[in-house]
Amino acid sequence: MVICSGFTQALAIVCQVLAEQGATTMAVETYGHQHHRAVIAGNGLKVTPVPVDRHGAIVAHLDGADSALLTPAHQFPVGVPLSAERRTAAVRWAANSGATIIEDDYDGEFRYDSHAVGALQALAPDQVVYAGTASKSLAPGLRLAWLVLPAHLVDRVAAAKRLADFQTGVLDQLTLAEFIQSGQYDRHIRKSRLAYRHRRDRLVDAIQRRVPGVAVTGIAAGLHAVLELRPDQEENRVVGLASSRGLALEGLSAYRAEPDTHPPALVVGYGTPPAHAYTTALARLCAVLDDST
Amino acid sequence: MVICSGFTQALAIVCQVLAEQGATTMAVETYGHQHHRAVIAGNGLKVTPVPVDRHGAIVAHLDGADSALLTPAHQFPVGVPLSAERRTAAVRWAANSGATIIEDDYDGEFRYDSHAVGALQALAPDQVVYAGTASKSLAPGLRLAWLVLPAHLVDRVAAAKRLADFQTGVLDQLTLAEFIQSGQYDRHIRKSRLAYRHRRDRLVDAIQRRVPGVAVTGIAAGLHAVLELRPDQEENRVVGLASSRGLALEGLSAYRAEPDTHPPALVVGYGTPPAHAYTTALARLCAVLDDST
């Protein structure tokens, strides 16, 4: 296990090591963080797109890449899990082609409706780099992430980490270790999971009652939902109206690697508003959706 | 000002930006941390040596490099400040050749015997990157450093920092900010300076009384001294004997960029032992020096 200063550094360092070992391309889901694509490109790998459908990344599109960044448990931001068939196909692709997959398990602690989705890394420990983070379970400002690595990458990644910033801050690491060992971290996760699930249920309920034309998807896990707008609602217009009423939302297109067409949709982070403001935020969101036809 | 996760990251990011802008070489004092040379080389710059004498780096040797890493206030590890003439010559070299100097002010808070040595950066703010750190004043495990940059580098360095790890942990940053604003940081520095000065004085006194053939140098500032051994004392032998008696010391040659000959010397970090163990550590050091002829 290598501790990194957040997922950004974890991704940067693994890309750097893969590039040093001869990798030239990293396949990335067509919906995701632009920042991650910039990190990959900044470390010398060409970003190639993998389309996403309701079963997750279409892994047949991995062919030709020599590495991949995937969000198998809860595709970000579309919100679907990678199907069992696709998971098998992805690790088969990696094993056959000698490719490395980075599994970005950014919100694995928060699964609500079904059994936990196992890590892809467990299916192919020699091909998959598992990346976990405290950004969702504790705070993004904490900058703590951890990598479970194929054995042949451990020394190289540790060396690259040392050259990047010597080590991650020890106060945060020791505090988290104490938090985990005392059992308080698990209690915090269970409590947070209930709270976020409650927020999600309230979001779904409010949208269904007050803006029934809008579908809420991607909600089996995590801290965000995708609202599929009515065909007559333009993303940019809804985002602008929301902004004018104090709501920071983004359209699904903000996460798109390349131009394509998709039905209009919003990405809504329901973990963000403080507890006392959640009712108001929900009411405003419904009003914005209702007014933006 | 760009906040970085320790000096290692600050150096890595500045090297990366300089290399992107066409720099190919970085001149480095022949005595210094091997780790820093590895960071520079790992970011694509060739390391070229600058010899050090009792006036600091011999800046005439900067010619031919397009960037430089210097420790002007307190050469590490030799311990001398860069002389006024050399300071002027260094910034003139940078201005005339368009080079960038990184000023590693690793222990600037701890100056004992003379007026504070001004920052090189103040002489040439468009040529010099000033790097400060909390590693000596608070703790190396904290991973907090700060860069004061020439205006033309600010945006590029901030962008590189964002791609490296998005941001430095905010809890540490907010805690330090509060510590500074409350005046407690200044009190801590003043108190630490007195304590370290007292340790230094005790070290000098013990060596003079008990091992008079050994000279103590580089002591006007910082947390380490250089002990110039007698000609018949071999560095490796003294370091080995010290280690067998529970003292972790290093020979000056451990900090040498390239083979050369220098009189045998030890680098002694007198800030390291806990307060209750300092008397014993000093006694053991003197005994080691006395026994290692």
pLDDT of B116 over the 90 cut: no
Out of B6, B42, B166, whose CB is closest to A6?
Answer: B166
pLDDT of A116 over the 80 cut: no
- Tens digits of per-residue pLDDT, B212-246? 999 999 999 999 999 999 999 999 999 999 999 99
Q: Sign of torsion, CA B3 B4 B7 B12?
A: negative
Extended strands (E) in chain A: 2-4, 25-29, 46-50, 52-53, 56-57, 67-70, 100-104, 128-133, 145-148, 215-217, 224-228, 250-251, 265-269
Cα separation of B212 and B218, whole Å?
A: 17
pLDDT at A292: 85
- Tens digits of per-residue pLDDT, B36-89? 999 999 999 999 999 999 999 999 999 999 999 999 999 999 999 999 999 999
The answer, for B166 touching chain A at a CB cutoff of 8 Å, is: yes
Q: Which of A20, A47, A162, A166 to mutate to test the interface with B (most CBs of B within 10 A)?
A: A166
Query: What distance in Å separates residue B104's CA from the closest CA in chain A?
Result: 15
pLDDT of A217 over the 90 cut: yes
pLDDT at A113: 81
Cα separation of A161 and A260, whole Å?
A: 37
User: Average pLDDT in the B257-279 region?
Assistant: 90
Query: What distance in Å separates residue A7's CA from the closest CA in chain B?
Result: 8
Tokens 């940059």 correspond to: B149
Per-residue DSSP letters for A55-113? TEE-GGGGTT-SEEEE--SS-TTT-PPPPHHHHHHHHHHHHHHT-EEEEE-TTTT-B-S
Single out the residue of A280, A244, A287, A285 nearest to residue A266, CA to CA: A285
Q: Which of B39, B47, B165, B172 to mutate to test the interface with A (most CBs of A within 10 A)?
A: B165
pLDDT at A262: 83
In a 13 Å sphere around the CA of B7, the CA atoms on its Cβ side amount to: 22
Q: Which residue on chain B is closest to A143 by alpha carbon?
A: B169
Phi-psi region of A255 (alpha: psi -120 to 50; beta: other; left: phi over 0): alpha
pLDDT above 70: percentage of residues in chain A: 99
pLDDT tier for residue B267 given thresholds of 50, 70 and 90: very high
**Rounded (to 5) percent helix, strand, coil in chain A:** 45, 20, 35
pLDDT tier for residue A5 given thresholds of 50, 70 and 90: very high
Contact list in A for residue B139 (CB cut-off 8 A) is 170
pLDDT at B289: 96
- Tens digits of per-residue pLDDT, B125-174? 999 999 999 999 999 999 999 999 999 999 999 999 999 999 999 999 99
Cβ B5–A6 below 8 Å, yes or no? no
Ordered alpha helix ranges (H), B43-168: 84-97, 120-123, 151-165
pLDDT of A219 over the 80 cut: yes
Contact list in A for residue B172 (CB cut-off 8 A) is 169, 171-172
Tokens of B91: 């910034």
- Element housing B147 (H / E): strand B145-148
- Tens digits of per-residue pLDDT, A227-238? 999 999 999 999
- Tens digits of per-residue pLDDT, A250-275? 999 999 987 767 889 999 999 999 99
The answer, for B142 touching chain A at a CB cutoff of 8 Å, is: yes
Q: Sign of torsion, CA A104 A109 A112 A114?
A: positive
pLDDT above 90: percentage of residues in chain A: 94
Query: What distance in Å separates residue A166's CA from the closest CA in chain B?
Result: 6
Cα separation of B214 and B218, whole Å?
A: 13
Single out the residue of A172, A89, A103, A164 nearest to residue A135, CA to CA: A172
Contact list in B for residue A166 (CB cut-off 8 A) is 6, 8-9, 35, 143
Cis previous bond, B77, omega within 30: yes
Q: A2: helix, coil or strand?
A: strand
Please calculate the CA angle A82-A88-A90 and round it to the nearest 5 degrees: 70
The answer, for A34 touching chain B at a CB cutoff of 8 Å, is: no
Tokens of A42: 């900044």
The answer, for B8 touching chain A at a CB cutoff of 8 Å, is: yes
Report pTM: 0.95
User: What angle do helix axes B278-291 and B184-210 make, rounded to 10 degrees?
Assistant: 30
pLDDT at A257: 83
Is B241 in contact with B292 (CB distance < 8 Å)? yes
pLDDT tier for residue B262 given thresholds of 50, 70 and 90: confident
pLDDT at B8: 98
Cβ A8–B163 below 8 Å, yes or no? yes
Name A203's Cβ contacts closer than 8 Å, sequence gap at least 6.
A216, A225, A268, A270, A282, A285
The residue that leads in pLDDT, A242 or B263, is A242
Query: What distance in Å separates residue B293's CA from the closest CA in chain A?
Result: 37
Cβ B163–A12 below 8 Å, yes or no? yes
Out of B42, B139, B169, whose CB is closest to A143?
Answer: B169
Single out the residue of A102, A135, A134 nearest to residue A119, CA to CA: A102
Name B259's Cβ contacts closer than 8 Å, sequence gap at least 6.
none
Cis previous bond, A77, omega within 30: yes
Cβ A141–B39 below 8 Å, yes or no? no
Phi, psi of A112 (to 5 degrees): -110, -40
Cβ B143–A165 below 8 Å, yes or no? yes
Out of B9, B141, B171, whose CB is closest to A170?
Answer: B141
Single out the residue of A154, A150, A91 nearest to residue A118, CA to CA: A91
Beta-bridge mates of residue A257: none
Q: Which of B40, B166, B174, B176 to mutate to test the interface with A (most CBs of A within 10 A)?
A: B166
Tokens of B147: 């860069």
Query: What distance in Å separates residue A33's CA from the closest CA in chain B?
Result: 13
Query: What distance in Å separates residue A71's CA from the closest CA in chain B?
Result: 19
pLDDT of B292 over the 90 cut: no
Tokens of A80: 């679907």
Contact list in A for residue B164 (CB cut-off 8 A) is 8-9, 12, 164-165
Query: What distance in Å separates residue A181's CA from the closest CA in chain B?
Result: 21
Cα separation of A146 and A154, whole Å?
A: 12
Mean pLDDT of chain A: 95
Cα separation of A168 and B253, whole Å?
A: 29
Phi, psi of B93 (to 5 degrees): -55, -45
Single out the residue of B130, B109, B142, B129 nearest to residue B221, CA to CA: B109
The answer, for A164 touching chain B at a CB cutoff of 8 Å, is: yes
